[in-house]
Amino acid sequence: MADAEIGVIGGSGFYSFLDDVTEITVDTPYGAPSDSLFLGEVAGRAVAFLPRHGRKHHLPPHRINYRANLWALRSVGVRQVLGPCAVGGLRPEYGPGTLLVPDQLVDRTKARTQTYLDGVPLPDGSVPNVVHLSFADPYCPVGRATVAAAARGRAWEPVEGGTLVVIEGPRFSTRAESRWHAAQGWSVVGMTGHPEAVLARELALCYTSLSLVTDLDAGTETGEGVSHEEVLEVFGRNVGRLREVLFDAVGALPATAKRACACADAHAGWDLGIPLP
């Protein structure tokens, strides 16, 4: 039996999720994930929690080993992933405390490996084929609906849909960049949503982003711009109800064998050349 079926990757300000956990270390062909996996149970479901930046927040967004993180989760049985993250709001109405469940993503990162399927041999000698998967809809529709319903059930009206633009970081945006992102019609800006979502797709995992707005991004207001303290302070204020929403969502997600979305069939028509864990 698998150790877990649902994975939660916690972001800045969110370093623990479950109370009663078994800590395990997992190695992958891509190296070590950000931290141990913390296995526990929520609503009768086996869950694996992984702090995205490491439990001491020692990894900036561009140094996170995203490939190892997703691979490690899949290797313990995870097939559905919930990814809470701190983001900046690009519209005045998306102020601190807004929960946005995006349905689109724009990649503005610069130097991150965003595929497993690149023809580069793995340490065991196996060679993944070069594969081009569909990513038109980057997030799991079932996961998005489940999270939105869970938030509503906790009287936290979410913004359903919207575009998360992911920047390289670790610095925050300039005012000009922020105004440009807003002018494109994008909703929120973060630093970790990519390549997390696309790597989940390559592993045929369901992936859902829970984007918690911690600040209005630099160009949206005339103040001092964003500070890391501000991000952590707002995240800390909302971490309790975010945890409740995650608990409810975990309980409401379909069983692995009953996934009705297309995520599990992401590889249809392709030979990956390597077995997935």
The answer to whether 192 is annotated as binding is yes
Q: Does 82 bind Zn ion (CB under 5 A)?
A: no
212 with 242: CB under 8 angstroms?
Answer: yes
Nearer to Zn ion, 64 or 261 (CB): 261
217 is catalytic: yes
Question: What is the x/- site pattern for Zn ion, positions 137-156, by CB under 5 A?
Answer: ---x----------------
In eight-state DSSP terms, residue 64 is -
215 is catalytic: yes
- Least Å distance between CB 80 and Zn ion? 7
Nearer to Zn ion, 147 or 165 (CB): 147
- Least Å distance between CB 82 and Zn ion? 11
Nearer to Zn ion, 36 or 146 (CB): 146
The site that binds Zn ion (CB under 5 A) totals a number of residues, namely: 4
Binders in 176-235 for Zn ion, by CB under 5 A: 206
Binders in 40-59 for Zn ion, by CB under 5 A: none
* Radius of gyration in angstroms for the set of CA atoms belonging to the chain, rounded to a whole number: 18
Residue keyed to tokens 């575009």: 163
Q: Does 263 bind Zn ion (CB under 5 A)?
A: yes
Q: Report how far apart, in Å, the C-alpha atoms of 224 and of each of 21, 36, 80, 173, 273 are.
A: 40, 37, 38, 12, 50
The answer to whether 191 is annotated as binding is yes
The half-sphere exposure of 197 on its side-chain side, counting CA atoms within 13 A, is 28
The answer to whether 53 is annotated as binding is yes
Q: What percent of the residues of the chain are helix, what percent strand, and what percent coil, each to the nearest 5?
A: 30, 20, 50
Q: Are strands 104-108 and 6-10 parallel, antiparallel or unpaired?
A: unpaired
- Least Å distance between CB 263 and Zn ion? 3
Nearer to Zn ion, 148 or 206 (CB): 206
Q: What is the 3-state secondary structure (H, E, C) of 82-117?
A: EEEEEEEECCCCCCCCCEEECCEEEEECCCCCCCCC
215 with 230: CB under 8 angstroms?
Answer: yes
Nearer to Zn ion, 140 or 159 (CB): 140
- Least Å distance between CB 76 and Zn ion? 18
Q: Does 159 bind Zn ion (CB under 5 A)?
A: no
Q: Where are the alpha helices (DSSP H) in the chain?
A: 66-75, 141-153, 175-183, 193-202, 228-252
- Least Å distance between CB 140 and Zn ion? 3
What are the residues binding Zn ion (CB under 5 A)? Answer: 140, 206, 261, 263
The catalytic residues are 215, 217
